[in-house]
Amino acid sequence: MFIRARAPLRISLSGGGTDVPPFPQLEGGCVLSTTINRYAYGTLQPRRDGNICVHSLDFGVSVTYDPEDRLIYDGKLDLVKAAIRKLVAAEHRGFDLLLHSDAPPGSGLGASSAMIVALVGLLKEFEHLPLTDYEIADLACVIEREELGIEGGLQDQYAAAFGGFNYIEFLPDHVVVNPLKLSPNVLNELQYNLMLCYTGTMRLSSHILSDQIDRYERKEAMTMLALHELKALTVEMKNALLRQQLDNFGELLHREWQCKKMLSSRITNPQLDGLYATARKYGALGGKITGAGGGGYLLLYCPAERKHTVAAKLKELGCTIIDMSFEPLGLQTWRVNAYAPQVSTTE
């Protein structure tokens, strides 16, 4: 018997940064995001001994732990070890874990958090735990942000667990996920006009977020202004989508990116600014670097008649255009009966 799981990656349209503690606990944050057809995957197969064998295709690492190992955090597959410590009973049965993702950590698509959500889903099924989507996302946040002390926002775990288009509110003592009921016309037109391209560089989000947090805690005027403006823009963008007003969506995305860059001087660099300026010159109405910034993927809103021109110019500059569609579902888990391969013979 196998247990499989997949959790979708996401693109954050507006509000990223307002979900980074301590801002949401003190002032409340909000984001608008959607999941896409890129995933973090996991497969769990029970073993007859007590060993736990983890195979990470993204990192090219395979590790085996025996029942006596304490799963110490040492920088090697710590996310996996933390999930096991949180969810697997002390007298656990052994199992094999195979993990891989459609985008590497540092891509800006929430891959690390989606992997944690997929892991929680696998181990939940393995231990027969009745966890809700909120509880899965909450636990994923605890593992990353509290157990391991990894700095970052809170939106990715909820996006991966719930899936779809969501307006997510981060209040001082709880999180509210509001699914948006967008018309097929809006979804189709938005997907048709959006373009996702890989810039060719990755980034360490922790450095960017540390700078943002430090600026907020020092009450730096520009960062404070940007965070409050991002909240207002997120509400404005959500309302525009619900009212089927896509004519100003590109401009809202552009304004969001200008505000986002005010959070930290590390969010952009001359290369990214050059790519964005080229996209705007040839027809993109707006766009942003996904995630914390610094590299990864560039999301653009282009009128359909200009989209191919923008794509061609970005390819000339070394970018890779990524085929993308919206994913309405969040975490999914399922069981597969083990089977033996069929062997055909001919006489």
Give catalytic residues, as residue numbers.
Answer: 156
Q: What distances in angstroms separate CA 339 from CA 2, 227, 334, one per listed residue?
A: 10, 53, 15
Fill in the amino acid letter for 186. Answer: V
Tell me, rounded to whole angstroms, the distance of Cα 305 from its chain centroid.
Answer: 30
Phi/psi at 253 (5° precision) = -65, -40
Maximum alpha-carbon separation in the chain? 82
| Tokens representing residue 99 in the block | 């993990």
Q: What distances in angstroms separate CA 255 from CA 132, 226, 233, 245, one per listed residue?
A: 36, 11, 8, 16
Q: What distances in angstroms separate CA 229 from CA 1, 22, 174, 225, one per listed residue?
A: 51, 17, 22, 6
The C-alpha atoms of residue 143 and residue 84 are separated, in whole angstroms, by 10
Q: What distances in angstroms separate CA 342 from CA 48, 338, 339, 345, one per listed residue?
A: 24, 13, 9, 10
**In angstroms, what is the C-alpha Rg of the chain?**
21
The C-alpha atoms of residue 108 and residue 301 are separated, in whole angstroms, by 17
Element (H, E) at 175: strand 175-179
| Tokens representing residue 297 in the block | 């993927």
Q: What distances in angstroms separate CA 20 from CA 155, 166, 332, 345, one per listed residue?
A: 9, 17, 26, 60
| Tokens representing residue 254 in the block | 């552009």
